[in-house]
Amino acid sequence: MQDLNWDDLRIFLALARKAKLSHAARATGVDATTISRRIARLEAALGVRLFELSPQGHVLTSHGRALLPAAETAERGALNGLNSITGSNAGLGGLVRVSLSEGFGTWVVARRLHQFREAHPDIAVELAISSGFLSPSKREADIAIMLARPRAGPLVTRKLTDYALGLYAARTYCSEYGAPESIPALQRHPLVGYIDEMIYAPQLRYMDEIAPGLSPEFRSSSINAQYHMISTSTGIGVLPCFIGDSSNELVRILPDDVEITRNFWMVIHRDVRHLARVDAFVRWLDAIVNDERALLMGHANVEQARNRIR
């Protein structure tokens, strides 16, 4: 192996996080041509390819993914050493990729992300919101907010919060068709829910918890699409209370009969847990969850919901 220039690891990290040469250049203050030359030098020193070019930019190869935790460990050690000498908050910059469910990512995190930007202007954030979760074990994300606790892996895992779900209908739907007054009466109403074969986590199967045999007539793999179907009077459906109670178009129905509880779990690869940018995001996320506790647990409007059906 040729002599390794340790500063090339800094360039490697920038490109691994930014994916594009121009973005890595802005992050490091080094022009794109030099970034490319430094990566080629590092690959020559190691004798392996670290990146492949794709439509999304420079993507890590298996060798690049293997190098990433070692490079981040070196970065963390350097920053810790600087902090111990200067007492500064060096390292509060870079990219944090967070994998989240569509509902929590859209209605809670994205809605308040401007507050994080104001507090940490040098940290870029990617919210990976899709059907399924990116894996911190495979270094696909720095942080994942998951519906279940992973059973294994080099991970730091803890419960972020419980959250409640309830049955919701549009005000216009209730005015035109009436709200069901009991669980059996739901059979006479069109229901909205998930597409069975596209449910990516068993925690999303709600209907059988309400009553055996309930089956939605209108289905989507997207909770946001379900919200819009419910709010436009297509039917009645289950929503997280942080979605349903945030909308003036919806009313919660049968709140004493239907209250489903689920959990969000915070999952972080142990090698990145103490990176300054990851720690900053974790602390911010804990703070907003604490602020939103009543909404997450469905306590914000439950009394109004009970009063509406008395």
Three-class HEC string of the chain: CCCCCCHHHHHHHHHHHHCCHHHHHHHHCCCHHHHHHHHHHHHHHHCCCCEEEECCEEEECHHHHHHHHHHHHHHHHHHHHHHHHHCCCCCCCEEEEEEECHHHHHHHHHHHHHHHHHHCCCEEEEEEECCCCCCCCCCCCCEEEECCCCCCCCEEEEEEEEEEEEEEEEHHHHHHHCCCCCCHHHHHCCEEECCHHHCCCHHHCCHHHHCCCCCCCEECCCHHHHHHHHHCCCCEEEEEHHHHCCCCCEEEECCCCCCEEEEEEEEEECCCCCCHHHHHHHHHHHHHHHHCHHHHCCCCCHHHHHHHCC
Residues in contact with 265: Cβ distance below 8 Å, sequence separation at least 6, in sequence order: 145, 146, 147, 148, 149, 150, 157, 158, 159, 160
Predicted confidence at residue 139, as pLDDT, reads: 64
Q: What is the CATH number of domain 7-86?
A: 1.10.10.10
Mean pLDDT, rounded, for 161-183: 95
Mean pLDDT, rounded, for 121-136: 79
Assign domain 163-258+297-308 to its CATH superfamily: Periplasmic binding protein-like II (3.40.190.10)
Share of the chain above pLDDT 90, in %: 57
Given a cut of 50, is residue 297 above it in pLDDT?
yes
- The C-alpha atoms of residue 4 and residue 10 are separated, in whole angstroms, by 12
Predicted confidence at residue 82, as pLDDT, reads: 53
Pairwise pLDDT comparison (147 vs 131), residue with the higher score: 147
- The C-alpha atoms of residue 28 and residue 67 are separated, in whole angstroms, by 19
Predicted confidence at residue 308, as pLDDT, reads: 41
CATH 3.40.190.10-classified regions of the chain: 94-161+263-294, 163-258+297-308
- The C-alpha atoms of residue 216 and residue 193 are separated, in whole angstroms, by 5
Predicted confidence at residue 300, as pLDDT, reads: 61
Tell whether domain 94-161+263-294 is in CATH 3.20.20.70.
no
Predicted confidence at residue 87, as pLDDT, reads: 46
Predicted confidence at residue 1, as pLDDT, reads: 53
Given a cut of 70, is residue 138 above it in pLDDT?
no
Given a cut of 60, is residue 305 above it in pLDDT?
no
CA distances from 34 to 14, 28, 60 (A): 13, 11, 19
Given a cut of 90, is residue 283 above it in pLDDT?
yes
Pairwise pLDDT comparison (41 vs 154), residue with the higher score: 41
Among 204, 162, 203, which residue's Cα sits nearest to residue 289? Answer: 162
Given a cut of 70, is residue 180 above it in pLDDT?
yes
The pTM for the full model equals: 0.70
Predicted confidence at residue 309, as pLDDT, reads: 37
Mean pLDDT, rounded, for 298-309: 53
Strands 57-60, 51-54: pairing kind: antiparallel
Mean pLDDT, rounded, for 34-62: 93
Given a cut of 80, is residue 163 above it in pLDDT?
yes
Longest CA–CA span in the chain (Å) reads 78
Residues in contact with 67: Cβ distance below 8 Å, sequence separation at least 6, in sequence order: 12, 46, 50
Predicted confidence at residue 254, as pLDDT, reads: 94
Mean pLDDT, rounded, for 193-202: 88
Share of the chain above pLDDT 70, in %: 87
Predicted confidence at residue 92, as pLDDT, reads: 66
Given a cut of 80, is residue 111 above it in pLDDT?
yes
pLDDT tens digit string along 73-89? 777 676 656 555 544 45
**What mean pLDDT is reported for the chain?**
86
**Tokens of residue 286, six digits:** 């804990």
73 and 104 Cβ atoms separated by less than 8 Å: no
Predicted confidence at residue 83, as pLDDT, reads: 52
